[in-house]
Amino acid sequence: MISLSRNFRARLRRFFSLRDAAFLTLTLSLACTGDGPTLVRPPDSAPAALLIENAAVLDVATGELVPARDVLLRGDRIDAVGPARTLSVPAEAGRIDARGATLLPGLVDMHGHVFADPAPPWQLNIPNPEAVLRSYLYSGVTTVLDPADASGDAFTRRDRIRGGDLLGPRVYATGPPLTAPGGHPVALVKIAAPAWISWYLASQAGFQIDSPEAGRAAVDTLASEGANFIKVIVDRVPSDVPRLGPTEVRAIVETARARGLRVVAHIGSSEDALLSGRAGVAAWVHGVYTERIPERDIAELASFGIPMVATLEVFDSYARMPSGLRAPTRLERESAPAEVLSAFEEIPEDSTLLDNFGEWLAMVERNREHARENLRRLRAAGVTILAGSDTQSGVFPGPGLHRELALLEEVGMSPAEVIRAATLDSARFLSDSEEPDFGRVVPGARADLLLVSGDPRQDLAALSRIREVIVGGVRLHREPLQAPGGDRE
């Protein structure tokens, strides 16, 4: 059974007039963050064709950098790629001088919440999805897998972007996640939200599944509403809450398959990873972060042949939170208001959230090295690692992914491997095809592109020295909040 019937939820929504966002109710008592900075905007009139001249083009499949290329875009596609000055170019084409720069596909965030807010959790800010979408684009993220959205608007928002009605990366959306009754994130919402509204917000946080039938019904509902993937929670946050069992997850996977959908799993432990892998999920959207994976499990985990989205950064971010120590990166300074960045230092005297999660945060911190070592061991056994940030408090939409990429390099992936994880490998997963129509700089592919200064294969931080972001063939005008530069990339 689902804890609240869809009808009851619909009535509640009408009662609160909360069609757009459950969290809107909080405006009654809390200051709104406003519409936020623009960061990116499309040109007033875009040329029908765009020539990128003299770029070094990164072949993300091989890691090879091909110098002195011209790339012609028409409409939302890459039309031609060839040696400089050899393409036939329409007279009216716009031109971008790309000397000294590397052209690569736009980045994919494989754990990119859109209905999220990066400010400290104790501020209880209201998510501003449109600002989140622009922040992704500012940082070169042109595709997002949005795994869990409590607003009720995930599919409409995704479709508005595809229809050209809303500026944002291309979104693949799961809608609300499926979890155990009282499981994650229901438990988290109950602790974090003000008491008078927490029961309502908790009811919106996900489908609470207490039987295989309830799992099937939830998948049917989401499939009818247009979900691209189904997300299950097979983890305990905090450590004493229930999680979905194998019978439920199997029923969910079967029903999803019958509806032509794949299931992605939020996991924590090695047992969670095994349970969901055996049930047939298509990807793990976290690494194993609560323990060292027992040696005997590695081969079986690799045998499922499914990728793992590492999400190292979100756990590092949790670990930083209680200390308030947080040196902003270049992209964070450029894209986030200074007062939001400094707010992490202003830890309240008594925070219900930090008090309730102290033990869990300490557990995550204790297992930091295990989480990294788990990834190294799974990679060595043949598991594909993908890049996702888990955008939320402390993990900024876009800059958070760049932090994640740096951490993937730390665990032993070469810069070229990291870039392939955040482009072609993710595109292959999302499109369920070896030849996806995005994630590569080849004729016919979608013109979602990133032009950066320098060679990111030599220095991954070059990815944050962004010269141009092009989405669907449209060259965006980028406006940083603070002047670029500073010590930290």
* Binding residues vs Zn ion (CB under 5 A): 390
- Min dist. Cβ of residue 285 to Zn ion (A): 7
- Min dist. Cβ of residue 370 to Zn ion (A): 20
413 touches 405 (CB < 8 A): no
Structure tokens at 56: 């070094």
- Min dist. Cβ of residue 338 to Zn ion (A): 26
**Residue nearer to Zn ion on the CB measure, 172 or 445:** 172
**Residue nearer to Zn ion on the CB measure, 316 or 390:** 390
Strands 449-453 and 466-471: antiparallel
In angstroms, rounded to a whole number, what is the distance separating the alpha carbons of residues 229 and 232? 10
- Min dist. Cβ of residue 135 to Zn ion (A): 17
Structure tokens at 139: 């940082």
Residue whose beta carbon is closest to Zn ion: 390
Q: In b/e form, how buried is each residue of 246-276, taking b as 16+ CB within 10 angstroms?
A: eebbbbbbbbbeeeebbbbbbbbbbbbbbbb
- Min dist. Cβ of residue 288 to Zn ion (A): 15
Cα-based angle 104, 106, 110 (whole degrees, multiple of 5)? 130
Beta bridge partners of 469: 450
**Residue nearer to Zn ion on the CB measure, 70 or 390:** 390
| DSSP 8-state symbol, 328 | P
Phi, psi of 188 (to 5 degrees): -65, -45
- Min dist. Cβ of residue 360 to Zn ion (A): 15
Q: Spell out the residues 6+ positions from residue 459 whose beta carbon is closer than 8 angstroms to its own.
A: 415
**Residue nearer to Zn ion on the CB measure, 399 or 473:** 399
Closest CA to 330 of 134, 135, 453, 464: 464
**Residue nearer to Zn ion on the CB measure, 113 or 250:** 113
- Min dist. Cβ of residue 150 to Zn ion (A): 11
- Min dist. Cβ of residue 230 to Zn ion (A): 14
- Min dist. Cβ of residue 400 to Zn ion (A): 11
**Residue nearer to Zn ion on the CB measure, 79 or 390:** 390
- Min dist. Cβ of residue 148 to Zn ion (A): 6
In angstroms, rounded to a whole number, what is the distance separating the alpha carbons of residues 489 and 487? 7
**Residue nearer to Zn ion on the CB measure, 174 or 329:** 174
Cis peptide before 238 (omega within 30 of 0): yes
Closest CA to 71 of 51, 90, 85: 51
Structure tokens at 389: 């940030």
Which residue bears the tokens 């508005």? Answer: 160
**Residue nearer to Zn ion on the CB measure, 57 or 421:** 421
**Residue nearer to Zn ion on the CB measure, 47 or 238:** 238
Structure tokens at 26: 């909080």
* Burial zone of 432 (CB within 10 Å; 0-12 exposed, 13-18 middle, 19+ buried): exposed
- Min dist. Cβ of residue 310 to Zn ion (A): 13
In angstroms, rounded to a whole number, what is the distance separating the alpha carbons of residues 262 and 140? 27
- The torsion of the CA quartet 290, 292, 294, 295, rounded to 10 degrees, works out to 150
In angstroms, rounded to a whole number, what is the distance separating the alpha carbons of residues 69 and 55? 5
**Residue nearer to Zn ion on the CB measure, 98 or 264:** 264
**Residue nearer to Zn ion on the CB measure, 117 or 390:** 390
| Amino acid (1-letter code) at residue 381 | A
E strands, 181-313, are: 207-208, 229-234, 262-267, 283-284, 308-309
